[in-house]
Structure 1
Amino acid sequence: MRRSYGKADRIVAISKGVASQLLEMKLARPGQISVIYNLCVNNEVHTAQKAPISDYQVPFERPLLVACGRLTEQKGYPYLLDAFRRVRDERQAELWILGEGDQRSTIESRIEELGLVENVSLLGFRNNPFKFMAAADVFVLSSLWEGFGNVIVEAMACGTPVVATDCPHGPGEIITHEKNGLLVPPADSDALSNALLRVLRDQSLKEQLTENGKERARDFHASKIGQQYLGLFREVVSQSKESPQTPVDRSN
């Protein structure tokens, strides 16, 4: 990374947090980094979210929470399960988790320990996660760390209110707390359960987060992100034409 990044005219970081980390690790120079968020939304997302869910019965009489991500330590699922147990202590609800990973057996054991076998479903990897996001009453991200957090934007685009951990890096750059989503500290089951219950109890808050979330998701549409990359490419090419060409040392 030090060799290749050092030769780059520009480095693109997918969040401001990642950019700061690159500077702290001395992998990039100030002025060498451009922050361009991930492309998360295109017209296919809006079509895919309308597809029917045929292999699972979507609960209509009780709230549905959906999470999406690999079954790994990073995603903080033990904290989510503890939080959901507290949600279940107050009201009937279901939690669907999309994704596969090396912690599946550990997560299954924790589901049994908490007595949530009837309420939590591990749905595995899905080619179309958007229809599940759209079916949810709340989308929840419990990650301990991220690079950005694409699923937050995808859920917003599907018209689902989002509760997410304010982990490094990304969620806090996507979500404005109380406006288009709710942020809670990572690894804090109590805060996570309180935020989830708050959205489930407060219909006006749910509607506010839904509408503002859809508006925020438009900032990450393919057309906008593509224009940002185009602008960056033009800037770099223009600068290279104005500067004398320096041979690149490829001896390493």
Structure 2
Amino acid sequence: MHILLLHAYGMGGTIRTVLNLAAYLAREHDVEIVSLTRTNEEPFFPMPPGVRLRFLDDRIAPRGRLAEFLARRPSRLVPEEEKAYLNMSLLTDLRLARYLRSLRGGVVIGTRPAFNLAMGLFAPPEVLTIGQEHVTLESHGPQLQTQIKRRYGRLDAFTTLTRADLKEYTRLLKGNPPGRLLRIPNAIPDLAGEESSLEEKVVVGIGRVVWAKGFDRLVNAWKSVAETHPDWVLRIYGGGTPEREEKLRDRIDAAGLSDKVFLMGSTPEIGVELSKASIYAVSSRYEGFGMTILEAMSKGVPVVSFNCPHGPKEIITDGHDGLLVRSKKAAALAAGICRLIEDEELRREMGANALKTAASYDMEVIGAQWTALLAELDERRPQPECSLGTPV
């Protein structure tokens, strides 16, 4: 089994969930993670036992003249709307195509449109191809959606993380569907750290420091929270470009919250940090799924989240294991956070229910869905013709 990642050496939700799936599949299969690029000496996250890692474009070692020439030429495999476009080049195009062409049987899983489209073009017929969507269809531009509509029908299967996105893909691919189109959500990885006591006066936010995560809105919300609950603090975990981090830090300082809101940077042990939190806040403008919501729930931490497309409302049951904020205003998010701060009994009730919700996303549960899909595709795999020969 071969799983394609843009940069397995980095950090992020897709990387963590892919490693989780790879660990499960490696129980019964020979699993290889293929990183399009290598940008660090060692991966940020450790590779699971029994899982091999290879890379196609080493960006920390010197290249030859021809490779350098190709690396300076833009990608021709995917349109500019693909978010990986700037990380790709004519060199990665050629190496990805060559790698896919070299496969002999087995299964290849793509984790973004660039890979899914390439698999449809270059994977040999005897290789089972499974595409994944880790964000949402609507986050892709029209040119990219056109290519998806034309070429995803070549895939043996395609999976989405949410029911809402499955509905959108079903509509788009109606005239040219893949062999199987279904939803398989991400599973929760094993996280270090104990179940939260819900006693610490700490609210946590997690994610890359990018516009989509809406940390500017979370900081604005914290102005109201800090006024009524000055003994509570907000910790934001996640990295970003120096420019984005500085801009967010300036916003925190301008709001007079430098001793209330802390940018904690990236950590490979997010479970430990969640176990110290009493509330998890999601300020995203959109989410492909919301993996960190489940991770917080697995530590018994209730969630307050904007009701953004697509993931939160499919995970959170409003008033049961968290709060869904239907307004997009920071004040509404602040009100939800304050409600859980002020009502300890409700916070603990929702935390207990969050644990039950998280259990339904255990790797054993989600892994069984992958096992069933692989078995179904293997049954449908065309068998090579063979000659019975001349009777003796």
TM-score for the superposition, normalised by structure 2: 0.55
Q: Distance in 1 between matches of 2:203 and 2:362?
A: 25
**Deviation string for 1:24-43 (max 9, x for gaps)?**
4448639831101001233x
Letter paired with 1:223: E
Instruction: Write out aligned runs for 1:5-154 (5 A).
Output: 5-26=152-173, 29=177, 32-42=180-190, 45=191, 48-50=192-194, 63-92=201-230, 93-102=232-241, 103-154=244-295
Structure 1 range deviating more: 179-188 or 95-104 = 179-188
Name which one, 1 or 2, has greater alpha-carbon Rg: 2
- What displacement does 1:185 show? 3.0
How many equivalent residue pairs?
231
- Seen in structure 2, the aligned counterparts of structure 1 residues 186 and 7 have a Cα distance that, compared at 3 Å, is farther
**Deviation string for 1:3-48 (max 9, x for gaps)?**
5522112211111122233234448639831101001233xx1xx1
Higher helix share: 1
RMSD: 2.3
Q: Distance in 1 between matches of 2:194 and 2:345?
A: 24
- Whether the aligned pair in 1 keeps the contact of 2:153 and 2:178 (CA below 8 Å) is no
Partner SS, residue 220 of structure 1: coil
**Deviation string for 1:153-184 (max 9, x for gaps)?**
00000111111121111111111110111111
Gapped regions of structure 2 (runs ≥ 5): 1-116, 118-147, 386-392
Letter paired with 1:37: P
Give the corresponding residue for 2:351: 210
Letter paired with 2:213: K
2:373 to 228, 232, 243: 232
Instruction: Write out aligned runs for 1:140-219 (5 A).
Output: 140-185=281-326, 187-219=328-360
Q: Percent identity?
A: 30
Letter paired with 2:300: G
Structure 1 range deviating more: 183-192 or 167-176 = 183-192
**Runs of 4 or more above 4 Å deviation:** none
Bigger relative contact order, structure 1 or 2 (CA pairs below 8 A, ≥6 apart): 1
Q: Distance in 1 between matches of 2:344 and 2:309?
A: 29
- Seen in structure 2, the aligned counterparts of structure 1 residues 216 and 41 have a Cα distance that, compared at 3 Å, is farther
- Whether the aligned pair in 2 keeps the contact of 1:41 and 1:153 (CA below 8 Å) is no
- Whether the aligned pair in 2 keeps the contact of 1:158 and 1:214 (CA below 8 Å) is yes
Q: Distance in 2 between matches of 1:21 and 1:169?
A: 11
Q: Distance in 2 between matches of 1:196 and 1:104?
A: 24
Q: Distance in 2 between matches of 1:24 and 1:231?
A: 24
- What displacement does 1:139 show? 0.8
Q: Distance in 1 between matches of 2:213 and 2:340?
A: 21
- Whether the aligned pair in 2 keeps the contact of 1:66 and 1:97 (CA below 8 Å) is yes
TM-score for the superposition, normalised by structure 1: 0.85
Partner SS, residue 135 of structure 1: coil
